[in-house]
Amino acid sequence: MTSALDESDKEKTRSVSVDLNNDASLLIDIPDALCERDKVKFTVHTKTTLSAFQKPEFSVPRQHEDFIWLHDTLVETEDYAGLIIPPAPPKPDFESPREKMHKLGEGEATMTKEEYNKMKQELEAEYLAVFKKTVQVHEIFLQRLSSHAILSKDRNFQIFLEYDQDLSVRRKNAKEMFGGFFKNMVKTADEVIISGIKEVDDFFEQEKTFLLDYYSKIKDSTAKAEKMTRSHKNVADDYIHISATLNTLSADDSTALKKHLDKLSDLFEKLRKVEGRVASDQELKLTELLRYYMRDIQAAKDLLYRRARALADYEHSNKALDKARLKSKDVPQAEEHQQQCLQKFDKLSESGKRELTSFKGRRVVAFRKNLIEMAELEIKHAKNNVTLLQGCIDLLKSN
């Protein structure tokens, strides 16, 4: 299925990060995407005034793996070691709705046609929601890059946006070259290395403590939010079944109770639409926000890690220099190596401080926006429900 996202949809969904895509010199968006079985094909659309590009406006098709390739090459680039690399978008995951669809197919015989159709509708909506989310998250990744002073100029980024052939050849080459070395190292060792270093800078000492603690807390909150949202969906599904059974009862009933049952069935139908909407709003605003910043904080931790390694390297180079001086052997090389390490470390520290400070601001702004929007949506839905229920009560009382 194709899905063209209209402007209002995009406004709603583009909320986990703010102040992106404002610079007219490079505007990127994903106006549509195609879902074929497991694979999602994104259309990446660029509008630019920069001379680095061959055309002022162009579109290319890209797969999820292309985004990962781009992310990984950025991570592996030495020059960017002092930057927070925007987290890679997660793989499109249609597992949940697909499994539910399968179960629904198996249980088709046990439910009425109406019930089956309603469940199917629900699942299709779920598919669509997953689809929209994955588009959003891929789009934000690109927009983070385009709004970053240094990363937006990256050559591979430009290739990604512009190259009108398949990127899969490049992807294979990249894998062979780097072998994901840096990535793997980060995954296994970061917490230990980061907490282990003797910090000289107060700023980084505080950041380290904060980020390590915050990460574990936000990871937990994300998991709990996901659980909560799933429960909400289950309740909404139950309402569908109850509404359908009441309908059957009402159809078979030849007494004056028929009207009564009809009303009840109707109410449950309305209630489940509401429960479903609350669940999906919560998912979009709260859960997505937490998920995104969990990944972003991991990216910040990666930066701390790289700086910690640079410090470790510097300390080693110092020791090596002392040794060289003692032995009076290879001193100039050792001195140069030490200088390089120091420079690298200083550069990382300076750049890191800048990045972490702006990250803080970005996070606070995004939380603010999402929390406000979520509260407003909850109020809106609740007010709708109050009107709905009041109407039902009035109707019953007038009988």
Partner 1 sequence: MTKPAASAPSLSVAASLSKPQSATLEELEEEEQEDKFDINISITNPEKIGDGMNAYMAYKVSTQTTLPMFRSKAFTVRRRFSDFLGLYEKLSEKHGPNGYIVPPPPEKSILGMTKVKVGKEDPSSAEFVERRRAALERYLQRVVCHPSLLQDPDVREFLERDELPRAVNTQALSGAGFLKMINKATDAVSKMTIKMNESDVWFEEKLQEVESADQQFRKIHGLVDSLVGHRKELSLNTAGFAKSVAMLGSSEDNTALSRALSQLAEVEDKMEQLHQEQASNDSFCFAELLADYIRLLGAVRGSFDQRMKAWQRWQDAQSMLQKKRETEAKLLWANKPDKLQLAKDEITEWEAKVTQYERDFDRVSATVRKEVLRFEVLIYFFFKTLVAFTLLIKYWEAFLPEAKAIA
Tell me the site size for partner 1, rule CB under 8 A.
58
Place of tokens 């909404």: 236
| 102 near partner 1, rule: CB under 8 A | no
What does the alpha-carbon distance between residue 6 and residue 29 come to, in Å, rounded to a whole number? 12
Identity of the residue, 320 or 389, whose beta carbon is nearer to partner 1 in the bound complex: 389
Q: What is the DSSP string of 72-101?
A: HHHHH-GGGTTS-PPPPPPPP--HHHHHHH
CB of 22 to partner 1, least distance (A): 20
CA distances from 325 to 54, 177, 311, 343 (A): 54, 37, 21, 21
Identity of the residue, 320 or 392, whose beta carbon is nearer to partner 1 in the bound complex: 392
What does the alpha-carbon distance between residue 144 and residue 70 come to, in Å, rounded to a whole number? 13
What does the alpha-carbon distance between residue 322 and residue 320 come to, in Å, rounded to a whole number? 5
Cβ density class 389-398: b for 16+ within 10 Å, e for less: eeebeeeeee
Contacting partner 1 within 260-299 (CB under 8 A): 260, 263-264, 267, 271
According to CB under 8 A, which one of 43, 59, 63, 245 is a site residue for partner 1? 245
Q: Which amino acid is at 328?
A: S
Identity of the residue, 164 or 252, whose beta carbon is nearer to partner 1 in the bound complex: 252
What does the alpha-carbon distance between residue 263 and residue 354 come to, in Å, rounded to a whole number? 61
Identity of the residue, 38 or 213, whose beta carbon is nearer to partner 1 in the bound complex: 213
CB of 220 to partner 1, least distance (A): 5
Identity of the residue, 144 or 270, whose beta carbon is nearer to partner 1 in the bound complex: 270
According to CB under 8 A, which one of 164, 255, 328, 332 is a site residue for partner 1? 255
Cβ(307)–Cβ(352) below 8 Å: yes
Which DSSP letter does residue 107 get? T
Q: Report the run of H or E that residue 213 belongs to, with start and end.
A: helix 202-252
Identity of the residue, 175 or 368, whose beta carbon is nearer to partner 1 in the bound complex: 368
Cβ(364)–Cβ(19) below 8 Å: no
According to CB under 8 A, which one of 49, 168, 231, 343 is a site residue for partner 1? 231
Cβ(53)–Cβ(161) below 8 Å: yes
Q: Report the run of H or E that residue 4 belongs to, with start and end.
A: strand 2-4
> What are the backbone angles phi and psi of residue 65, rounded to the nearest 5°?
-60, -30
Helices in 81-201 by DSSP H: which ranges?
Answer: 95-106, 113-146, 155-162, 168-178, 181-196
Applying CB under 8 A, the span of 83-91, 143-151, 243-251, 322-330 interacting with partner 1 comes to: 243-251
| 239 near partner 1, rule: CB under 8 A | yes
Applying CB under 8 A, the span of 78-86, 91-99, 153-161, 218-226 interacting with partner 1 comes to: 218-226
| 228 near partner 1, rule: CB under 8 A | yes
According to CB under 8 A, which one of 84, 218, 284, 310 is a site residue for partner 1? 218
| 235 near partner 1, rule: CB under 8 A | yes
| 213 near partner 1, rule: CB under 8 A | yes
Q: Which residues contact 149 (CB under 8 A, 6 or more apart)?
A: none
Identity of the residue, 10 or 241, whose beta carbon is nearer to partner 1 in the bound complex: 241
What does the alpha-carbon distance between residue 373 and residue 370 come to, in Å, rounded to a whole number? 5
Identity of the residue, 198 or 397, whose beta carbon is nearer to partner 1 in the bound complex: 397
According to CB under 8 A, which one of 248, 262, 312, 313 is a site residue for partner 1? 248
Identity of the residue, 150 or 396, whose beta carbon is nearer to partner 1 in the bound complex: 396
Contacting partner 1 within 333-392 (CB under 8 A): 360, 364, 367-368, 371-372, 375-376, 378-379, 382-383, 385-386, 389-390, 392
Q: Quick one: residue 140, left, alpha or beta (phi over 0 = left, psi -120 to 50 = alpha)?
A: alpha
CB of 226 to partner 1, least distance (A): 9
| 109 near partner 1, rule: CB under 8 A | no
Question: Binding residues for partner 1, per CB under 8 A?
Answer: 210, 213-214, 217-218, 220-221, 224-225, 227-228, 230-232, 234-235, 238-239, 241-242, 245-246, 248-249, 252-257, 260, 263-264, 267, 271, 360, 364, 367-368, 371-372, 375-376, 378-379, 382-383, 385-386, 389-390, 392-394, 396-399
